Amino acid sequence: MMSNILTLYSEYGQSVWLDYLDRDLVTEGGLQALREAGVRGVTSNPTIFHKAITGSSDYDDSIRDLMQADHEIDERRIYEWLIVQDVQMAADVMEPVYRSSEGRDGFVSLEVSPHLAYDSDATVEAARHLWRMVDRPNLMIKVPGTVPGLLAVETLIAEGININVTLLFSVARYQAVIEAYLRGLQHNPDPARLASVTSFFISRIDTRVDAALDEIGSPQARALQGKIAIANAKLAYQSFKTAFNSERVMEQQRRGVTMQRPLWASTGTKNPAYRDVLYVEQLIGPHTVNTLPADTLDAFQAHGELRATLEEDVDEARRRLDELDRLGISLARITQELEQEGVAKFAHSYDELLTALRKKRFELTKGYAT
């Protein structure tokens, strides 16, 4: 019997990527097993890598090697070398998918420092640097979809660097990202090998909106709980279809360009009252990616139900968003706040990671002294 994740790809046109990466997963064969089960890509972020570094001693030998090679190496350079090594190994594991899909899947994503989210020039320089260091065609650089990030996306797409535009919450910002992508393509002399996705966040929206609806407490408000994130994503998908069926895009496709696919991110269910695969089952549709945390992936394999849902009840999705507005809850304000909080959260994880590496470096140096 075909697994759910293989069926999603073969019958529904949706790729499953794993939203997790650590060294043990790569070196002990776990990622290869997931690839063989149908996982077609990997995403990571500073929060995930912080958990990987602080949760085990898997990186100690590599840190020792780096310190032996350069006694003055600081924690930022240690972080960079460690994450580059992980991404290179993971990209090599996923390379057969990249090759067999002709460059559509098989990617591993690596994020620029979240502290650069509001500095387009610094983001471009950091992305170029990581692109050169990893040196794998199936790398994707994650760039936050902030307003300054849009210019960085345009520049990097023009240069032929694969981009995963992350921290997208609103349909309006998603539409602006599509425009930045298309402008970048116009300045790219040979875009045929280029790939890009847009990470549209899901569960965080329901967490924030549900709290606001709970404060209102009316039957109309409670009826919208757990419904807004999916409605928002469905309208984003309609924007995708409109944009990528336009003459502008068809002109680019004649140059060999592949679609910039929507990627559903933050798809682990945070409210235990909701079905644990809610944000997988309700967002199934062609030309999309869903990146799943390991526990959500396991749950979907165990009991996920397969049906093309992404274009069901689109008018109802619009009605729900209109009703939310009539209740006095501004989704535009919430999504803006979530973007800012998302950047701050990743920056905090990045800083915590550097602190942990500084401590680890001290402990290992102390070990040498004894």
Q: Which residue has the tokens 């599509």?
A: 178
Residue 51: active-site member: no
Q: Which residue has the tokens 């100690």?
A: 60
SS3 16: strand
Contacts (Cβ under 8 Å, ≥6 apart) of 266: 201, 202, 203, 204, 279
- Active-site position among 142, 227, 234, 360: 142
Q: Which residue has the tokens 């996705």?
A: 197
Distance between CA atoms of residues 342 and 183, nearest Å: 26
Distance between CA atoms of residues 152 and 196, nearest Å: 13
Contacts (Cβ under 8 Å, ≥6 apart) of 72: none
SS3 17: strand
H, E, C per residue of 32-61: HHHHHHCCCEECCCHHHHHHHHHCCCCCHH
Question: φ, ψ for residue 157 (rounded to 5)?
Answer: -65, -40
Distance between CA atoms of residues 13 and 281, nearest Å: 14
| Element containing residue 306 per DSSP (H, E) | none
- 151 in Cβ contact with 180 (< 8 Å): yes
- The two structure tokens encoding residue 13: 């046109």
Distance between CA atoms of residues 112 and 80, nearest Å: 10
Contacts (Cβ under 8 Å, ≥6 apart) of 92: 136
Closest listed residue to residue 234, CA positions, set 121, 292, 313: 313
Active site residues: 142
